[in-house]
Structure 1
Amino acid sequence: MVQDNRSRIERIVETNATFLRVLAGPGTGKTYALTRRVARLFRDGAAPERMLVCTFTRTAARDLETELSHLGVEGVDKINTGTIHSFCFHLLAQSDDLELTGRVPRALLSFEECFLLEDLKGMGFGGIRDRRKRLQVFNAAWARLQTDDPGWPQDPVDRTFQLILLGWLRFHEAMLIGELVPETLRYLRDNPLSPYRRAFDHVLVDEYQDLNRAEQVLLDLLAEGGTLTVIGDEDQSIYSFKYAHREGISQFAIFHPNTHDEDLIECRRCPHIIVEMANELIATNGNRESRTLRVRPENPEGEVYVLQWRSIEEEAGGIAEFIRTRLDAGDIEAGRILVLAPRRQFGYAT
């Protein structure tokens, strides 16, 4: 790790800023910086049960838990670590909110969602894609834009949709997973004396660019009595379909005065050619922070092949043969191979 990157991580670890934003590209050590910041807070006397460390996906949450356990700091197991949705489920289960509103904390299964969308057919909510899209914005507390205030729907069609949707869910004694965040946000807004609004001295969030506006506002409420650290990368925002906006992290300082900014730009994971190609692609986006990902000199050069086949079947066979050749030569382990395809048919062809 070059001295410049090391000094950046040291500043991330040591700052006492109320609001800290870290813009970190892939493979730059953001998880390392986050866990070391947690260790430093411990060192300075922070109570682990008054810390919330969360991220968007279960996989990322498990990785965070593993990294924190490796710190070797007594009491680290008492930190509230997990996804935002798991935290919301716990909060709602501990309160009387669900019982008072007649809701049952049973997650709606994926196949049941298909029946839900079918039952909403012919009610003026458009085709299947329109209904699914409206369901996503319901899960985002009706905040379609980063500038929207999540809460009660303003559009008459949205209000009708919510009324019918909630009736369907109550009848089937279920909740949408995405509904947990808007429900928790509503609960905390309606209960300003709730102990959860003062439960944490430090809130740390990974992959902040993947959060929608409702999730961001919820974290602001949870952090209003302490510090808020967010880490992410606007160039890796891939959840726009659930109304996650890259502006959430790129404009963080606008909504959080006196934000302390740091960035991590040395990629320790990717080959040179991959970083070069990524920088060329990202540079075409003019609406972003001005920074360029650097590659560690000792990283491998890497290889990129651009090939074309006449059919999906030939392509699948060609890629399979390429992988077999590399495996037979001992160039790589099977567990380190990932094949991505834009269509399911490609997977069937293999």
Structure 2
Amino acid sequence: MEKKKYTLKREIFEERSVKSSKIRYADELNPAQYEAVMTLEGPVLVIAGAGTGKTRTITYRVARLVEIGVNPESILLLTFTRKAAQEMLSRASILLDARCDRVSGGTFHSFANLTLRKYAHLLKYDNSFTILDQGDAEDVINLLRTQEGYDKAKVRFPRKQTLYEIYSKTINTETPIEEIVLEEFPHYYEQVEDIVKLFRIYNSYKAKHNLMDYDDLLLNLKRLLEEFDDVRKKLANQYKYIMVDEYQDTNRLQADIIRLLGMEHRNVMAVGDDSQSIYAFRGSNFRNIMDFPKDFPDTKIIKLEENYRSTQPILKLANELIDRAR
């Protein structure tokens, strides 16, 4: 006699799981926050204005993932400051337990550094490469600028700070130097060929001396993910759940990294405010938050609209200003 097979529906399992949970999610979160915390599979875009509890939402979602048995080290939380990541993981640990401290949290640059220390040899770098901070990078540019004789040019040549800004922006926005100079430094456009030449010399110098500046960390991480599919798949398998805070402040390069890392499993949650972006001067692009559903089709969009920081008259005024902004 053939035995009957019984299957426990996922919805019933999840309901029982929540009821037996240490954390009272439904009582401690509003409906939109609860939906974001409980949506664990597939791409999710959380639109969260200031004061709507986005940090709380991310914290509870980290705790939820760990609570249901996800390996903490397979959760990747990317933020714009190390302090922000530490604060969220510390709160998650208080909510649940010390397992949350083992979540892989940090900035894009720290994650890139950690990854490249293992795989830089694939890009013809030694894994013990040295990182140049902005001051060091500007000094190297100035050294090369002097060696090439641009400091004695009849027509004034850009200073090291300006050159660094041009080079950084061309990498982070994935825009040719010629366009950056024409749009933002038109008074140097006559020197654009020499600016491009010096950029090539700067890159050769770094490669020869096993150096990377901050922008190289992101650029080389993207190269690694694009050029070595086996490495990309290995990292995707290692980091099965990805969360990105302040997504409106990512640049195109960072958005490409997230797309490449998440394309295998698509368990990516981006959290951001579509009305706020403060790092445009560094090349951030608020369009990334608009384009997230294009990068990850079938994205679930959740809006956090209940404000805990401001009174209604202030919110009404802010919304009026936003509506009339160009």
Structure with the larger helix share? 2
Q: 1: CA distance between counterparts of 2:98 and 2:217?
A: 32
Give SS of 2:95's match. coil
User: Contact (CA 8 Å) 2:77, 2:243: kept in 1 or not?
Assistant: yes
Identity among equivalent positions (%) equals 27
Query: Relative contact order (alpha carbons < 8 A, sep ≥ 6): 1 or 2 greater?
Result: 2
> Greater shift after overlay, 65-74 or 270-279?
270-279
Q: Which residue of 2 aligns with 1:100?
A: 124
Further displaced range: 128-137 or 241-250: 128-137
Decide whether the 8 Å contact of 1:204 with 1:229 is kept in 2. yes
Code of the residue aligned with 2:101 in structure 1: it is D
Following TM superposition, by how much is the alpha carbon of 1:76 offset from its aligned partner in structure 2, in angstroms?
Answer: 1.3
Q: In 1, Cα distance between the equivalents of 2:316 and 2:244?
A: 28
- 1:281 Cα offset (Å): 2.6
Which whole-Å CA distance do the structure 2 matches of 1:135 and 1:165 have between them? 10
Query: For 1:66, which of 81, 90, 106 is the aligned residue?
Result: 90
Question: Could you list the runs of 5+ residues in structure 1 that have no partner in the other structure?
Answer: 145-154, 287-350
2:257 aligned with 1:218? yes
> CA deviation digits over 1:154-195, x for unaligned, max 9?
x98786454212133346653212221111111121110112
Compared with structure 1, are the counterparts of its residues 69 and 188 closer, same or farther at alpha carbon in structure 2 (3 Å cutoff)?
same
Q: How does 1:169-318 map to 2 (within 5 A)?
A: 169-170=206-207, 174-194=211-231, 195-226=234-265, 227-271=267-311, 274-285=314-325
Aligned to 2:54: 30
Provide the secondary structure at the position in 1 that maps to 2:203: helix
Letter in 1 for 2:31: S
Structure 1 pair 143–79 and aligned structure 2 pair: CA distance change class (3 A): farther
Q: 1:234: Cα distance to partner?
A: 2.3
Deviations 1:174-224 (A, max 9, x none): 321222111111112111011223222110111111111111111122222
The residue type equivalent to 1:206 in the other structure is D
Report Cα offsets for 1:260-319 as digits up to 9, x if no partner. 001112221235564344323322235xxxxxxxxxxxxxxxxxxxxxxxxxxxxxxxxx
User: Aligned residue for 2:179?
Assistant: none
- The count of aligned residue pairs is 273
Equivalent AA in structure 2 for residue 55 of structure 1: T
TM-score (norm 1): 0.69
CA distance in 2: counterparts of 1:217 and 1:162, whole angstroms: 23
Counterparts in 2 of 1:281 and 1:98: CA distance versus 1, 3 Å: farther
The 2-side partners of 1:103 and 1:43 are apart by: 35
- 1:36 to partner: Cα distance: 1.3
Q: Conserved in 2, the CA contact under 8 Å of 1:103 and 1:170?
A: no
Give me the whole-angstrom Cα distance separating, in 2, the residues matched to 1:225 and 1:83. 22
Q: Which runs of 5+ in 2 are unaligned?
A: 1-26, 177-191
TM-score (norm 2): 0.73
- Are the counterparts in 2 of residues 23 and 263 from structure 1 also a CA contact under 8 Å? yes
Q: CA RMSD in A?
A: 3.0
Counterpart for residue 57 of structure 1: 81
Name the residue aligned to 1:12.
Answer: 36
Matched to 1:62, the amino acid is Q
Contact 1:199 1:222 in 2 (8 A): no
